[in-house]
């Protein structure tokens, strides 16, 4: 992993992109990472007031990312700078930002929630939404093939390139399970309740199949233009309802075939859920039919108007 070490003096012109309790991301210019002149990169590091285990968690994320080979649907690790504090994880910069924000900003101000794309980057077509879903499935197919559990798969943790390719990102909660198939959560990590599988809520266990459950929630997010899952249901009720068998109903602007995919992901028994390979193949099949599985004219705006009141950073 030494070839990825980048001297800190090769990074310049830092600008903050975003920050939270557990980290911050900065935009920077880097020299010597690729052939040619400077390249714009994203630098993930600790917040100004890091949590107790912040550095340990960031280094664990870096260690995991160095084990992942390149894949076009996973954010690429370009290098790191850890010779001094705070440590830096240097990633490719994806200019369109995170998928959740992109979806929210695409919401139409007019009568319809979607418009045809005519050079306007703030409107999305049904075809593009299906491509987003397929890209994430392909990215997670790769992640799972590397025996890695993501544990925080959600639209906010998918980044979008200039050409609208979606890439899985944010491996802060991910775990390497090469020596075990199941990861049992024992530490104090803050976990995203609304995206968690039923067995994760009950037993604190995580597998690729629990990532598949989260993918089903992400698919719901895509269909609903970045709305928060389980709109109008508070955190305590979500946990109780999911454990009792409740599943989010079919959005009225979503075709049954696509909703069936969500339901498959939300099967109570992990072994009954589809693989990411199956999901990707099925989405390709649907896309080749030439039919819109997300209506562009029949969207219920109240879904995201209600859910916008929910804090997207709710944690268990």
On whether 94 is known to bind a ligand per the annotation, the reply is: yes
Say which of 57, 152, 211, 228 is annotated catalytic.
152
238 SS3 class: helix
On whether 110 is known to bind a ligand per the annotation, the reply is: no
Q: Are 207 and 183 in contact (CB under 8 A)?
A: yes
On whether 189 is known to bind a ligand per the annotation, the reply is: no
On whether 247 is known to bind a ligand per the annotation, the reply is: no
Residue with tokens 């400077």: 38
On whether 98 is known to bind a ligand per the annotation, the reply is: yes
Give, to the nearest 10 degrees, the angle between helix 126-145 and helix 276-289.
160
On whether 24 is known to bind a ligand per the annotation, the reply is: yes
On whether 173 is known to bind a ligand per the annotation, the reply is: no
On whether 183 is known to bind a ligand per the annotation, the reply is: no
Class of residue 28 by CB neighbours under 10 A (exposed 0-12, middle 13-18, buried 19+)? buried
Helices (H) and strands (E) in the chain, counts: 9, 11
189 is catalytic: no
Length of the chain: 316
Residues 6+ apart with CB under 8 A from 34: 78
On whether 3 is known to bind a ligand per the annotation, the reply is: no
On whether 92 is known to bind a ligand per the annotation, the reply is: yes
CA dihedral 162, 255, 287, 98 (to 10 degrees): 20
On whether 23 is known to bind a ligand per the annotation, the reply is: yes
On whether 97 is known to bind a ligand per the annotation, the reply is: yes
On whether 245 is known to bind a ligand per the annotation, the reply is: no
On whether 44 is known to bind a ligand per the annotation, the reply is: yes
* H or E segment to which residue 168 belongs: strand 166-168
On whether 79 is known to bind a ligand per the annotation, the reply is: no
On whether 156 is known to bind a ligand per the annotation, the reply is: yes
On whether 226 is known to bind a ligand per the annotation, the reply is: no
Output the CA–CA distances (angstroms, integers) from residue 113 to 103, 160, 221, 225, 226, in the order listed. 11, 20, 14, 8, 12
Tokens of 108: 């139409």
Output the CA–CA distances (angstroms, integers) from residue 249 to 56, 68, 122, 164, 169, in the order listed. 40, 36, 27, 28, 28
The CA distance from 168 to 155, in Å, is: 9
Query: Which residues are annotated binding-site positions for Mg(2+)?
Result: 157, 170
Query: Which residues are annotated binding-site positions?
Result: 18-25, 44, 92-98, 156-157, 170
Query: Which residues are annotated binding-site positions for ATP?
Result: 18-25, 44, 92-98, 156
Catalytic residues: 152
């Amino acid at each position: 992993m030494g070839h990825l070490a980048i001297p800190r003096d090769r990074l310049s012109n830092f600008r903050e992109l975003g920050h939270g309790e557990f980290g911050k991301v900065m935009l920077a210019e880097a020299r010597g990472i690729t052939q040619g002149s400077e390249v714009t990169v994203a630098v993930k590091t600790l917040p100004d007031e890091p949590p107790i285990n912040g550095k340990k968690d960031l280094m664990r994320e870096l260690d995991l990312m160095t084990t992942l080979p390149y894949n076009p649907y996973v954010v690429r690790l370009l290098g790191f700078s850890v010779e001094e504090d705070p440590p830096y994880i240097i990633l490719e910069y994806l200019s369109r930002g995170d998928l959740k924000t992109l979806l929210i900003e695409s919401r139409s101000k007019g009568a319809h929630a979607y418009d045809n794309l005519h050079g306007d980057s703030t409107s999305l077509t049904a075809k593009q939404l299906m491509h987003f879903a397929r890209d994430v499935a392909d990215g997670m197919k790769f992640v799972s093939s590397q025996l890695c559990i993501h544990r925080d798969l959600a639209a906010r943790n998918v980044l979008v390139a200039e050409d609208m390719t979606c890439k899985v990102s944010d491996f802060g909660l991910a775990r390497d399970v090469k020596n075990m198939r199941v990861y049992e959560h024992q530490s104090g990590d803050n976990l995203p309740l609304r995206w968690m599988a039923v067995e994760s809520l009950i037993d604190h266990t995580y597998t690729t199949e629990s990532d598949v459950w989260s993918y089903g929630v992400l698919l719901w997010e895509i269909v609903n233009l970045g709305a928060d899952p389980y709109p109008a249901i508070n955190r305590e009720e979500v946990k109780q309802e999911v454990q009792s068998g409740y599943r989010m109903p079919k959005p009225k602007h979503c075709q049954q075939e696509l909703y069936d995919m969500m339901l498959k992901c939300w099967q109570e028994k992990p072994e009954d859920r589809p693989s990411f390979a199956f999901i990707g193949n099925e989405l390709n099949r649907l896309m080749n039919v030439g039919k819109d599985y997300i209506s562009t004219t029949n969207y219920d705006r109240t879904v995201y108007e209600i859910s916008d009141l929910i804090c997207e950073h709710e944690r268990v």
